[in-house]
Structure 1
């Protein structure tokens, strides 16, 4: 691992130049390092589990491009397939065999997906699934949960306020109340609130959407009983259950959260891994619902780059490798050993690491939360202060204490054992200051 204060002159210079032509100098807010401070690193290349910035610094990457790179950076098989496709063309604005191949690959292996439609991002996938649910049910009301992120479409940029539910309290400027008034927010892991809401509003709901495992506001692993109750209530009231698997799809198992919880949603949304590192999204599910999408039905959805051949190629190469290698059990065991090694070294501190499959989340609090309200904001502040020290030691963690970390297939035990010692030391020093 690195040590000291690495040179960041080029990154600092690039940030100043970027700020002249881009809001905040970044193209996604979290990249600005606003929560953690310090200079955002401008990355030049990735290789295996490592990132290399423009100043020549090397980092062990636990961000993995926010989840898509389950095979690590620049996987040779994926890169070779993409290069071959690029030579044939990058986009045609027409149908290709590659669209069918990736769709057939998913439909034939994921039991809950009868039909699938590709788009270009997770946000598009969720936006389309919501529109489809409303068109299918002929209802308007949508239920989401506090702490779940489903992209930045207007009707889902809402948060919970005081009381049982919040109707349309926007979390972003520029979103009119009229757009969010049909979006309801409930707390996670609250069966009483869920049952009370369904008793009053269940027959008005078009859809309920929930992350497979909420992983955008901490790692809020839900109880199986809670997820089964949600499935039961939606079925009883004819409500479309949308499982947002943009993060969890092909990440917490080949079958994602549907396999993990043993439930069958009506629709699922995908992104990240199914594009193998290229921009992609998808929504799919029951055939009788999917057949309401144009051109078969009246629910409109379109996209110039939807199903583009480069993303389809990268996605197919990635999923074929995941299916053939059956790597999930080994990744989960590796993550468990890694987390155990860190927590054993921190046995006397008030630090936890939540984990599921190949995802983990470092939190400075004694109890692992299942709801957003149970997250200790003081603990988040300690993570944020720790972040720069991790970077200086060659550990690239997400630049926000609310974000989770990912492993790839190339995060070997040897690499992780070395990292565990460094991570435990830095966390322990921060925890000591906290105490």
Structure 2
């Protein structure tokens, strides 16, 4: 019996081929607009997938409620149609514009949060009085816009204090008191999920500006203590913690959502049951098109689809971190890091609840879940990141190059002094 062995020259060629692949990848990543294109591509894919899954997950509920299986999808399309121009406008703005709007956005968010406590305006949804109703279907959730406002304000504040951030006083004041006020207003609405995301943003911003390790660890301990305290104050939250410890102890009661989310994920297999073929959306899984849309994704698209979603969010995070680390402007660094922490913290809390790694707190999955109040500020934040990506070294020159007219060579040929023109004159 004979065996075929690799020739020495083949073995020597493999490392060279690997080096060429690594070199090619490095060349792509070193291009000026790489962050811009990565961010644009990942966001676009998540938006398209979100519309597709909202259409599938909401069809049964929409039919039962409105008599049309696509009413909820149409509404989400409207929100996307409103949000994309807002993201485009944000992408055309400069850091100076965002800094000018930071304080206005913060004051506006606090004002809207206070309005939720006004009888007749504040609306209770699923036990949380965190909505403002303007009559009919028009209602907004101010806490979603508060995330964006806090990131903008904190980034501007720390950029102004750049030379003073070695002092604890300037690290914590007035950032912590203002963030504490916003978080307190949201906790008062019984919205612990959004409060946890904002706490993560606050701690993340303190870490990004270079806080000492002991201060950072202390902030984590304080956030954990505050979160544990407020969980212990509500019986339904304690019930959710108990359900988290033993998901199958009460599958027909407090564990209903978690049980059916697990069932949806487990029946998806590798490739899923197919888009539109979910069984859990037929009333078994509450909030299938909002907080638990990832369970429907796992059921219909399987493990491969679920991992694809995770990869897209990680790509989004990579783009955000890349923008934050490649800039020399403090405001861009802090704002890009804050937006990245916000989106990824919300993603982790949502996915952790769906797959059983965290207690259920009820927050949407960015760019995928149904809801305009969550989608609009997220798209504006993506627009901000796109604006920051265009400020990277060499990005402006690359953009000008990519925007040349289709027949640029004709205009250059007509330019006085161009060789082609001179040759024509000679003839």
Relative to the length of structure 1, the TM-score reads 0.28
Larger Rg: 2
The structure richer in helix per residue is 2
Greater RCO, 1 or 2 (C-alpha within 8 Å, sep 6+): 2
The structure richer in strand per residue is 1
Relative to the length of structure 2, the TM-score reads 0.28
